[in-house]
Chain A
Amino acid sequence: MVTIVCFGSLIFPEHAATLQYGWAPMAIAEVATAIWLMVFAVKNPSLW
C-alpha cells in the first residue's frame, strides 16, 4: 500500500494529500508489531 501511495505521490503530486491516507494501515501495523514485540518478544525455539 505504501509503495503504491509513494509512487502515486511522485506521479500525481496534485493528489499527494489524498494519497497520504494510504499510510494508515502501515501505521496500525507498525504500532501493533511494536507493542507485540516489546511485550512478547519472540518465543520460538523450534526454529533453531
Chain B
Amino acid sequence: MSLHDKARLIGERAGRTQRLCARVAGFLFLWLILTGLAGSLTTSHIVGSGTFAETARRVAASEHLYRLALCSELIETLSVVLLAFALYITLKPVDKLLAQTAMYWRLGESFIGGVGMIFGFVRLRLYTSPQSIAALGADQSQALVGLTRQAGVAEYNISAIFFSIGSILFFYLFFKSRYIPGSWRHSVSLPRSW
C-alpha cells in the first residue's frame, strides 16, 4: 500500500469518526433537553405550592419519584461532558484551539451543574428526614430549604453562563465551517460593507 493510500484511509477513518460524533452530538442536544425538562418539571410538580409541612408531606409521599427526577437532571449534567467531547471532535478540523476552548466552557457547565445537584439532594433530605425537621423545626427547615433553593438558582445561572459561552464558540465554529448549507449561511451573514 502506498503512502498516499494510507493517508487516504486515515482521512476516511477520521471522517467517519467525525460524522459519528456529529450524529451523537445531535442526539445529545435533544437528550439533554428531554432529561433536563423531565427532571425539573417532575420535581416542581411534586413540590407544588403551600406551607413547608404540606410540601414536605408531598415530597415524602413521592420520595422515589423525586429521587428519580433528580437523577434525570444528574444524567443531563453528566451528558454535557459527552456532548462537549462530541462537538469538539466534530469541530476540531475547523479550529482545534477554539474547539478545545469551547469544550472547556461546556465542561465547566457540567461540573457546576454537578454541584447544583448536591443542593437538590440536600433539599430532599430536609423535606424527608424526620430527624432534621424535629431538630430544626418547621421554620428553620423552611429557611434552609429556601437557602438551598437560592444556591440552586445561583448555580443554575452561573452554569448557564458557562453553557452560553461554550455554545457561542461552538456555533461560531459551525458558522465558520462549511458544514452549514451555503444559502442559510449567506442569508444570516452581514453584508461585506459592514
Binding site for B on A (CB under 8 A): 1-3, 5-7, 9-10, 13, 16, 26-27, 29-31, 33-39, 41-48
Contact = CB atoms under 8 A, between A and B. Distances in A.
Given A2-B163, A29-B171, A41 B22 contact: yes
Contacts, number: 86
B185 interface: no
A26 B163 CA distance: 11
B157 interface: yes
B157 A34 contact: no
Contacts of A43: 19, 179
A31 B179 contact: no
Interface stretch (B26-34, B58-66, B118-126): B26-34
Given A2-B160, A7-B161, A29-B171, A47 B93 contact: yes
A45 B177 CA distance: 11
Interface stretch (B10-18, B42-50, B128-136): B10-18
Given A2-B160, A6-B160, A48-B11, A41 B178 contact: no
A31 B33 contact: yes
A39 B165 CA distance: 26
A10 B156 CA distance: 10
Interface in B153-194: 153-154, 157-158, 160-161, 163-165, 167-168, 171, 174, 177-179
A37 B25 contact: yes
Interface residues of B, number: 34
Contact of B29 (A3, A33, A44): A33
A10 B164 CA distance: 15
Contact of A36 (B14, B26, B165): B26
B23 interface: yes
B71 interface: no
B78 to A, nearest CB: 18
A41 B160 contact: no
A42 B22 contact: yes
Interface in B33-80: 33
21 contacts: A3-B168, A6-B161, A7-B161, A9-B157, A13-B153, A26-B164, A26-B167, A27-B33, A30-B29, A31-B33, A34-B28, A38-B27, A38-B30, A41-B23, A42-B177, A45-B11, A47-B94, A47-B177, A48-B11, A48-B15, A48-B93
